[in-house]
């Protein structure tokens, strides 16, 4: 049998698949998963002005994200009353709202997600779901994101850096940070805005990242790309069992992305940082 894609890396050096269009058959995957009756928790934070992104996130998720499967969205927000109630959810899909504080720095809002996801897994999600995916809210689904992403520990290639050499990655390089990955080390640069897997695996990831964020804070360090740096450090030791191509976290500022990007599935919404961020 011919490999489906010759133009891209479709398997990691530790033999995890890298999911690109053409490397999987959606019909076969859907057929294999349908009878399992699994539930996929999906966490999304919409704090402060980022609440404005939630409506489109949910509407596009209903069109393209895990269609036909049980999905439990956990929306973390400081404004529970502003969570849209007019998005029609298909059977088997629902929303829970969890109130979180609004921190004064956007970096803090982003980093503290680790702590809140850890707690939510312990209190609720571990009893409710088989898989969990943790995603950014300032994003929209444009095409299928389905059962092909399921795996024990799943990470996504950052679209800005997927063709770069490891020494050009945005890793934290300072040895004093628990997120440090020195030059010459590293596999890929993964996005902070989309990771997931089996609930127990993701619990280990967020718990470790939270502990390392707190250890850094205690010595006055903040990693270069916040919790994303810690996720990358964790995944260097704990290799993902499945890697998603940048189709799954595209940034339209990169244009159509060249011939290897055949489908854009989930992409960042252009945002005016000055307007939406608490501190800029």
Selection from 166, 157, 144, 155 nearest residue 263 by Cα: 144
Is 228 noted as a catalytic residue in this protein?
A: yes
Which residue of the set 62, 115, 201, 228 is catalytic?
Answer: 228
**Can you read off the two tokens belonging to residue 22?**
């053409």
Among 249, 261, 264, 267, binds ligand UD2 (CB under 6 A): 249
Does 268 contact ligand UD2 by CB under 6 A?
A: yes
Task: Select the span of 9-17, 18-26, 29-37, 41-49 touching ligand UD2 (CB under 6 A).
Answer: 41-49
With beta carbons less than 8 A apart as the criterion, state whether 199 and 132 touch: yes
The Cα–Cα gap between 125 and 74 comes to 9
Task: Select the span of 134-142, 169-177, 236-244, 252-260 touching ligand UD2 (CB under 6 A).
Answer: 134-142
3-state SS class at 152: coil
CB atoms within 10 A of CB 193: 21
Among 20, 106, 141, 169, binds ligand UD2 (CB under 6 A): 106
Among 146, 151, 186, 193, binds ligand UD2 (CB under 6 A): 193
The Cα–Cα gap between 154 and 97 comes to 24
Does 137 contact ligand UD2 by CB under 6 A?
A: yes
CB atoms within 10 A of CB 274: 7
Q: Write the DSSP symbol of residue 254.
A: G
With beta carbons less than 8 A apart as the criterion, state whether 192 and 231 touch: yes
46 is in an annotated binding site: yes
Among 30, 252, 260, 278, binds ligand UD2 (CB under 6 A): 278
Q: Hey, which residues are catalytic here?
A: 228
- Binding-site residue ranges: 45-47, 50, 136-138, 228, 251
What is the binding site for ligand UD2 (CB under 6 A)?
45-48, 50, 106, 109-110, 136-138, 191-193, 225-228, 249, 268, 277-278
């Amino acid at each position: 049998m011919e490999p489906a894609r010759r133009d891209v890396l479709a398997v990691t050096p530790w033999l995890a698949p890298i999911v690109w269009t053409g490397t999987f058959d959606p019909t076969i995957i859907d057929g294999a998963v349908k009878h399992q009756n699994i539930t996929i928790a999906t966490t999304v934070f919409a704090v402060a002005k980022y609440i404005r992104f939630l409506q489109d996130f949910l509407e596009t998720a209903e069109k393209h994200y895990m269609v036909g499967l049980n999905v439990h969205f956990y929306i973390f927000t400081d404004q529970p009353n502003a969570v849209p109630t007019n998005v029609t959810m298909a059977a088997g899909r629902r929303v829970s709202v969890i109130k979180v504080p609004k921190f004064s720095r956007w970096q803090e809002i982003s980093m503290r997600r680790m702590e809140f996801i850890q707690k939510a897994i312990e209190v609720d999600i571990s009893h409710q779901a088989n898989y969990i995916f943790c995603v950014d809210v300032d994003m929209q689904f444009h095409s299928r994101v389905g059962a092909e992403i399921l795996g024990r520990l799943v990470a996504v290639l950052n679209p800005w850096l997927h063709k770069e050499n490891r020494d050009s990655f945005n890793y934290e390089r300072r040895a004093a940070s628990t997120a440090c990955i020195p030059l010459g080390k590293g596999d890929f640069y993964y996005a902070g805005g989309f990771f997931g897997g089996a609930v127990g695996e993701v619990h280990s990831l967020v718990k470790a990242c939270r502990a390392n964020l707190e250890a850094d804070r205690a010595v006055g360090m903040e990693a270069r790309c916040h919790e994303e740096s810690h996720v990358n450090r964790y995944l260097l030791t704990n290799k993902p069992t499945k890697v998603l191509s940048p189709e799954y976290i595209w940034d339209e500022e990169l244009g159509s992305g060249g011939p290897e990007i055949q489908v854009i599935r989930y992409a960042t919404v252009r945002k005016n940082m000055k307007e939406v961020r608490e501190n800029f």
